Chains A and B, each alone.
Chain A
């Protein structure tokens, strides 16, 4: 779920009370999430953890299962490897960053079909893409992706 009951924790996670005391330490690039990025309508499940533990497999199977009980499912891959939706789309789909590059980073020019691909069972698949681990700014990529999905009203209805 996207609502964090503990306000202090929520603030900290969103970066508002972060000085130098929190975050990943020196040398890591971190962005505070835009506090306006609240998601209403859709239920959000986050799957994370260290590499090779089955995040993509579990997510794709969950998505497929939800689609079978009539839910409108959107799976967002936030890994720069951009292969979490592979088993649903049967291919590596272009990422949001690829799409943004194609329009010279004018997000207002993007259409849904540029970065949302329909996979198994009608599950809609998005890969954020982004820099390899430890370089660039992954937070920017995820922030842009959520903004785009909101602007295209993809996070509003959880059922068709």
Chain B
């Protein structure tokens, strides 16, 4: 265990908060000290929800620890029930409160409320946010279903499982996939936990099959529903044209529909755009991908198969799905990066020297520091990834969005060739950094002790801007390895010969 400044995932109770916030008529009483209430801001400031999460904190202070925190908790549960009148109550402790071992589950059950009370035991020092969300969703499902008879209709229907608050583009993905399924002729029984009430969850078994849209959240529940009710599930996140077509085929099979006509009719602009002339010179661009497993693996497929990029790095912070990422990394012949330490990720990006980074908010920062274009493709995200406009990443419209998101950062860079024509202009001179990359590239990192002599510096400037940074880094590494104090013209040439030999 180590202290980290920034983490990809929060503690598991934040995952539980995401489930509670996604749903209707659910309340979560969280045994937590003052200060843990900061998590509210993720929902109101980052996701810009118009209401606070349905969470009551006990906010115990130092003086309460000398008294009776158990009574404090029971009072909080009773008050929350009286005030919010939920259909279902979640109770649990935050990572800090776990240490005082008050047993929130037992205390809440002792109140004998007239609604289902779901105790959440989330091991805060072993697991993280996505596990917390997955476990909470599973517990809610188990608490709600089985209380009524299954009513299977005549038309094939499905449940869409997994979309939550704070998820990357979940709001728009749900809309896009709902529309797609309805066009295909598959009815939607329940979407959960997104805007579902406990009564809706109770109807889950009525569907013919389940769609696991986000396995990080819904795979555990879907597996249990399959075991308990024989409901099969589709676990193909429809991200990109290929995956969307695979998804439609799998859904159609379970629904007993022939998808041929539908597949012939529907597609994305990505298919033609990526083949059109202005995109072909993106072919072979080096791309580094890091995120949750679902979005990382799917983005790698889009980048490699649909845009013709070269995947030079693939990784995830989600150990639960490390296996899938390792498998995917084999396809692209890269070493999978499984870590939740952003400094490891930064080092890997530096070493891979990509032209584009696809990542989370964390990689956005890293790429900015390194002066590399970046697109965010996965949670955790910041406020700009909850855009006002409709912007899904799933389905055919999602593929359109991905085409733009994965190509625009590079297109801007390519326009820099105009610099040659306006070389002497005050604004467009050879020293100016790419206009869209802030100031990061203006001052390339130089090793402190290395000095370039005038001739070498002049020669370096003749190298085209888009490889100049790499040439500088390689030469400096070459000189440092040989402990050369001054980089001369010959050093530059020798380094070039050395590294081109290595690449061959």
Contacts and interface: CB of A to CB of B under 8 A. Distances in A.
Contact of B319 (A35, A36, A108, A151): A108
B101 A35 contact: yes
A55 interface: no
A36 B127 CA distance: 15
B131 A153 contact: no
A81 interface: no
A80 interface: no
Contacts of A36: 101, 121
Interface string A145-158: 00100110100000
A109 B127 CA distance: 10
B320 A108 contact: yes
Contacts of A106: 319, 322
B224 interface: yes
Contact of B323 (A107, A109, A147, A150): A109
B126 interface: yes
B319 A109 contact: yes
Interface string A104-139: 001111010000000000000000000000000000
B226 to A, nearest CB: 13
A121 to B, nearest CB: 18
A106 B323 CA distance: 12
Interface centre among A106, A108, A153 (most CB of B within 10 A): A108
Interface string B312-337: 00000001101100000000000000
A42 to B, nearest CB: 15
A151 B123 contact: yes
A153 B224 contact: yes
Contacts of B168: none
B288 interface: no
Contacts of A108: 126-128, 131, 319-320
A106 B128 CA distance: 12
Interface of A is mostly: helix
Nearest to A112: B223
Nearest to B131: A108
From A106, A107, A151, name the one whose CB has the most chain B CB atoms within 10 angstroms. A151
Contacts of A107: 126
Contacts of B220: 153
Contacts of B128: 108
Nearest to A111: B323
A153 B138 contact: yes
A147 B319 contact: no
Contacts of B123: 147, 151
A111 B322 CA distance: 11
Nearest to B119: A40
A26 B220 CA distance: 44
B1 to A, nearest CB: 12
Most A CB within 10 A of own CB, among B121, B127, B135: B121
Contacts of B101: 35-36
Interface in B352-401: none
A150 B139 CA distance: 13
Contact of B322 (A109, A150, A151, A153): A109
Nearest to A36: B121
Contacts of A111: 323
Nearest to B135: A151
A109 B130 CA distance: 13
Contacts of B135: 151
Contacts of B127: 108, 151
A158 to B, nearest CB: 14
B392 to A, nearest CB: 29
A109 B224 contact: no
Contacts of A147: 123, 126
Contacts of B224: 153
Interface in B42-89: none
A108 B15 CA distance: 15
A105 to B, nearest CB: 11
Nearest to B142: A156
B498 to A, nearest CB: 36
A144 B319 CA distance: 18
A36 B104 CA distance: 11
A126 to B, nearest CB: 18
B121 A109 contact: no
Interface string A64-91: 0000000000000000000000000000
A28 to B, nearest CB: 26
A151 B123 CA distance: 9
18 contacts: A35-B101, A36-B101, A36-B121, A106-B319, A106-B322, A107-B126, A108-B126, A108-B127, A108-B320, A109-B319, A109-B320, A147-B123, A147-B126, A151-B123, A151-B127, A151-B135, A153-B138, A153-B220
Given A147-B123, A153-B220, 14 more contacts: A35-B101, A106-B319, A107-B126, A108-B126, A108-B127, A108-B128, A108-B131, A109-B320, A111-B323, A147-B126, A150-B121, A151-B123, A151-B127, A153-B224
Task: Sort A-B residue pairs by CB-CB distance and give the 3 closest, nearest first.
Answer: A108-B319, A109-B319, A109-B322
